[in-house]
Amino acid sequence: MADNKDKTATFLPNFDIKKLLGDMKIPPAPDMEAVMAAHKRNLEALTEANRVALEGAQAVARRHMEILQSTMSGLTETLKELSSAGSPTSRAAKQTEMLKQAYENAVANTKELGDLIQKSNAEALQKLNTRVSEAMTEMQTLLGKK
């Protein structure tokens, strides 16, 4: 071992490791408790966003089921009305009116479900956006780059 030290001293006679490390501009390590607290808040925000998204998906599924039940009930009534006796002209007029109403209902229901999905997604995304903004500010503070 003494032989290796002698070789290093001969090879680099003026080498001073303390001076080398002292000259390096190594930033101080951030407060690890603060970093871990920030990560905890990140996970909490992600959990909250997922909760909001799940609640939104459940609301969409519930509403979709209500629409389906309403449609099936309406279909039963439509079939009863169409089976009643009447002239071919009045039946055709009734069918046309029913088709128009069914189309309008389908468009309204699709818009309603789309709005529910959009609202849920916007709420979840807002929670994430807020946390990302906070996290950026926290990291700047931790790294001393206000």
Q: Provide the domain limits for residue 138.
A: 32-142
Higher confidence at residue 74 or residue 28? 74
Is 13 inside a domain boundary?
no
Contact indicator for 59, 123 with CB cutoff of 8 Å? no
Contact indicator for 143, 34 with CB cutoff of 8 Å? no
pLDDT digits (tens, 9 = 90+) for 85-109: 678 888 888 888 888 999 999 999 9
Residue 146 predicted with pLDDT over 50: no
Which DSSP symbol is given to 13?
T
Is 20 inside a domain boundary?
no
Instruction: Give the model's pLDDT for residue 8.
Output: 52
pLDDT digits (tens, 9 = 90+) for 104-129: 999 999 999 999 999 999 999 999 99
Is 7 inside a domain boundary?
no
Structurally, the chain folds into a number of domains equal to: 1
Is 23 inside a domain boundary?
no
User: Average pLDDT of the chain?
Assistant: 84
